[in-house]
Structure 1
């Protein structure tokens, strides 16, 4: 199965070119209709929600860990607490024999960064993902299996996708060489040629176009 980005691009392409309904798109792509609606509403899939992991056994010891990490703000580098040292102190000073190293390590990694940020030692920064119309595109050339004249055949699919609109162009070639890569770009840069909903695989000998259906 391909990426969710490619799935969204395929759904939007089929809806725009073939005029398929939400029910038909869901059936053709093997997804829920909710996924189809999300793809039609936005070119980029929503970020996956990461489950929030809790460590109830660690809760009574978090103030002690925070105190050690706060001390590290002014301590010499060699005297700062590692996760191993923090775990040893918790066991010796607080009787925390039921804690595992991984639990302490994960909390220390996140909490140390937060304490540094609160103390002004780190600057939180982010890079906005803003794609101007026509400014950027993503290109991929990968393997795909198709039914060609009744035979399962390995071909190569060229995908050119605009980052802003999510509009994508797909072309299937018998090989994945430089010729296919360059020809795919030529097709992508001439939108007037790309109104057909058919993917075509071109043979190198006769240049005869043969319809091919993606494997399901």
Structure 2
């Protein structure tokens, strides 16, 4: 019979103090065999329960999941399946009736075995009214041909609200048009815009100097926006929008969307 942890600890403590096993047994009201058992035990940590093997529902779909995750390696890094997306596809396409947790564990284990650890980002504290802006590219099949589509993604890191507008490119005019759609939709203007190295909106002429394109400067003057550009190679400075772009690609763009060509 296993003794309570408190008894085990008292036995080991008294033994370490040099108290005889007979005296320990008398003080604690246990047998000398019990004292011997716990005094000589190298580790008192509880042993994990050994569960008998049982085939999981995810095992029957492992080949399908492996093919999806393998195909992801040919896609842009930020347009790959999340575990949640894998689970949704299994339910919709394979009639999977299991829970999400085994799928999540399977995907995590597969990725640990087949690719190195992903990038790590620092978490920053943002005040209300700051908006992070970035473009995200995704591959789609339109009229039978692969094409890259551009999505202007804006987030408020303080509240984690996210918005997106599709644009034909990533130049300054597209930045202005996409932001105008988003600002009109939310009915408010942020205090500051945080941009990724001024891509599309300006040109970085030095490490700490950016020349803003005239049309974007006029746009900011109209809305009275303060702008800030991230330092080069410092994606962690706008981690909120980076995560939002990844969420868009992995959840709405996996698998790659397909659209038939239509007459205009």
Fold shared, TM-score > 0.5 on shorter chain: no
Bigger RCO (CA 8 Å, 6+ sep): 2
| Bigger Rg, which one | 2
- Range into which the TM-score falls when normalised by the shorter chain: 0.3 to 0.5
